[in-house]
């Protein structure tokens, strides 16, 4: 079979296009890593609704550049079991990246959820405080990551998501 110039150009274009698309996909930032199973325990029915509303899966970005997933797996009037995951933030110097961890946090008046991270726990930039607040409609979560040593604060705006979506 003899191929004319048009067919050769068409084949080469398809090869370059598929390589280019695959390269773009491979270079996109990684989603926040998560464990294979997320176990959300529904809050007690007698828990005030403004505290119970924290329960579940939240997705957003730190500083509009780094994907994050925060899961409130269990919550009562005093404590919350939190899973927090940080995605990749290429060429930003932001840390941590591509990591998740579990934290037991305090439920404080407001209500807010808050915990502290010491520098021996994982970060050179710490001690740090992480604070989670819900809006009045209870459908948006704002997270603050405050670095006490360097007097800096990162903000993440998160919306409610589902376990199925974040584990895809």
* HEC assignment per residue over 64-133: CCEEEEEEEEEECCCEEEEEEEECCCCCCCCCCCCEEEEEEEEEECCCEEEEEECCCCCCCCCCEEEEEE
pTM for this predicted structure: 0.77
Q: Is residue 146 part of a domain?
A: yes
- Helix, strand, coil shares of the chain, percent, nearest 5, are 20, 40, 40
CATH number at residue 98: 2.40.128.620
Q: Is residue 79 part of a domain?
A: yes
The string of pLDDT tens digits covering residues 25-82 is 333 456 888 998 999 999 999 999 999 999 999 999 988 888 899 999 999 999 999 9
The string of pLDDT tens digits covering residues 71-124 is 999 999 999 999 999 887 665 555 556 688 899 999 999 999 999 987 655 556
Q: Is residue 86 part of a domain?
A: yes
| Domain count of the fold of the chain | 1
Q: Is residue 145 part of a domain?
A: yes
């Amino acid at each position: 079979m003899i191929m004319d110039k048009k067919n050769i150009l068409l084949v080469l274009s398809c090869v370059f296009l598929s390589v280019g698309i695959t390269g773009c996909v491979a270079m996109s930032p990684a989603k926040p890593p998560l464990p294979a199973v997320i176990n959300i325990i529904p809050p007690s029915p007698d828990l005030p609704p403004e505290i119970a509303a924290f329960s579940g899966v939240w997705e957003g970005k730190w500083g509009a550049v780094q994907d994050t997933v925060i899961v409130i797996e269990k919550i009562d009037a005093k404590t919350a079991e939190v899973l927090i995951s940080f995605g990749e933030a290429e060429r930003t110097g932001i840390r941590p990246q591509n990591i998740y961890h579990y934290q037991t946090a305090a439920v404080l008046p407001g209500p807010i959820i808050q915990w502290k991270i010491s520098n021996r726990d994982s970060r050179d930039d710490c001690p740090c405080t992480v604070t989670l607040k819900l809006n009045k409609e209870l459908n948006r979560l704002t997270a603050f990551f405050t670095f006490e040593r360097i007097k800096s604060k990162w903000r993440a705006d998160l919306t409610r998501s589902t376990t199925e979506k974040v584990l895809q």
